[in-house]
């Protein structure tokens, strides 16, 4: 094993970059802008350039670099090819192949949520666990599945697309994906606000959430933690659906650790307790005690996971 590797996490506005020692120490991290103009054709050359510049700056020889891993916001198959990445304005892009050609280094590409899960399994909240389910509760709900230490990409690159698990067959509003009743419609930041607005409309109960011009998920979570009865009802609904979904996922892959990340997870242990209560209610007996923990690496999960990915054998 060589001394260094790079972990890259491409987002819609910035590219996060990390230089790692191959045993897992983050040496340095930095960001460059994501240039999405002209169908994002500069993105991978920009990544290659910043890697080259970093090696020169630090006097690192290419022969001492194991490779570069890269996370992309969109489905990626196991050959490291993106079918399309809407936020980068990409069509089909053989990401790993192009990045390898541009850098002269071994390159691997994965979906951003999947590499984040791998990062948490490597050096984060699930450090050392071989089988991990990660759900990321942000604007949407993303996820990543790790089995035997490796990302489950799936046949269409949709492995870990747990935000679109259809949990509520009675839902009448459509999700962004076109289906109805997706987990994301309830358990994302947007979903929490939606559930709260429904709950506010359904009763005249007093609540600190009533009469706000802009209701945010943070408002709901703060009110929940303060014991506001209506906010508690909202989060019990969220916990019921999310805990129920995680219980089903456990019947499929039976993880050692379940990690909850994303902005919503900043609500901390009260949120976890609420999810866990319902998870335990619905989980198969052997999986009832599977720990549910908060992600640790925050925005660095992607660079950690990308770096880890390139260190794994084919």
Residues that bind a second copy (CB under 8 A): 75, 78, 129-131, 145, 147-148, 150, 152-167, 169, 177-179, 181, 240, 244-245, 247-256, 282-287, 290
Q: What share of the chain is helix, strand, coil (3-state, %, to 5)?
A: 45, 20, 35
Please enumerate in sequence order all residues whose Cβ is within 8 A of that of 204, keeping only pairs 6 or more positions apart, or say none.
none
Strands 132-137 vs 257-261: parallel, antiparallel or unpaired = parallel
DSSP 296: S
Strands 26-33 vs 14-21: parallel, antiparallel or unpaired = antiparallel
The nearest distance, CB 299 to a second copy, in angstroms, is 25
Please enumerate in sequence order all residues whose Cβ is within 8 A of that of 220, keeping only pairs 6 or more positions apart, or say none.
192, 193, 196, 209, 231, 234, 235
The nearest distance, CB 80 to a second copy, in angstroms, is 15
Phi, psi of 90 (to 5 degrees): -95, 140
The answer to whether 271 touches 295, Cβ cutoff 8 Å, is no
Rounded to an integer, what distance in angstroms lies between the CA atom of residue 297 and that of residue 301? 5
SS3 248: helix
Of 132 and 223, nearer to a second copy (C-beta) is: 132
Of 17 and 310, nearer to a second copy (C-beta) is: 310
Of 21 and 280, nearer to a second copy (C-beta) is: 280
- DSSP code string of 122-134: HHSTTTT-SSEEE
Of 71 and 75, nearer to a second copy (C-beta) is: 75
The nearest distance, CB 136 to a second copy, in angstroms, is 14
The nearest distance, CB 285 to a second copy, in angstroms, is 6
Rounded to an integer, what distance in angstroms lies between the CA atom of residue 86 and that of residue 92? 11
Of 44 and 187, nearer to a second copy (C-beta) is: 187
User: What is the dihedral sign for C-alpha 177, 183, 186, 188?
Assistant: negative
The nearest distance, CB 251 to a second copy, in angstroms, is 4
Of 30 and 284, nearer to a second copy (C-beta) is: 284
Of 232 and 248, nearer to a second copy (C-beta) is: 248
């Amino acid at each position: 094993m060589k001394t260094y590797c790079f972990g890259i996490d491409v987002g819609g506005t910035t590219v996060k970059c990390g230089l790692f020692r191959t045993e897992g120490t983050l040496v340095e991290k930095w960001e460059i802008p994501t240039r999405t103009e002209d169908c994002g054709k500069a993105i991978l050359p920009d990544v290659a350039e910043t890697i080259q510049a970093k090696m020169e700056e630090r006097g690192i020889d290419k022969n001492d670099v194991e490779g570069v891993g890269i996370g992309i916001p969109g489905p990626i198959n196991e050959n490291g090819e993106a079918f399309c990445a809407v936020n980068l304005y990409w069509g089909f892009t053989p990401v790993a192949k192009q990045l390898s050609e541009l850098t002269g280094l071994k390159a691997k590409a994965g979906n951003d949520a999947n590499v984040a899960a791998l990062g948490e399994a490597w050096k984060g909240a699930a450090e050392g666990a071989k089988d991990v389910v990660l759900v990321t509760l942000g604007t949407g709900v993303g996820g990543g599945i790790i089995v035997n230490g490796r990302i489950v990409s799936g046949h269409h690159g949709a492995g870990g697309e747990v935000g679109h698990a259809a949990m509520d067959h009675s839902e009448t509003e459509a999700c962004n994906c076109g289906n109805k009743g997706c987990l994301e419609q309830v358990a994302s930041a947007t979903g929490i606000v939606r559930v709260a607005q429904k709950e506010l409309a359904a009763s005249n109960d007093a609540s600190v959430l009533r009469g706000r011009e802009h209701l945010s998920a943070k408002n709901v979570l703060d009110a929940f933690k303060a014991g506001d009865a209506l906010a508690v009802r909202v989060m019990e609904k969220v916990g019921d659906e999310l805990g129920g979904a995680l219980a089903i996922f456990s019947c499929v892959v039976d993880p050692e650790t379940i990690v909850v990340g994303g902005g919503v997870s900043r609500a901390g242990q009260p949120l976890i307790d609420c999810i866990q209560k319902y998870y335990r209610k619905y989980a198969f007996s052997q999986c009832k005690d599977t720990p549910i923990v908060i992600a640790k690496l925050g925005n660095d999960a992607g660079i950690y996971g990308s770096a880890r990915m390139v260190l794994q054998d084919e």
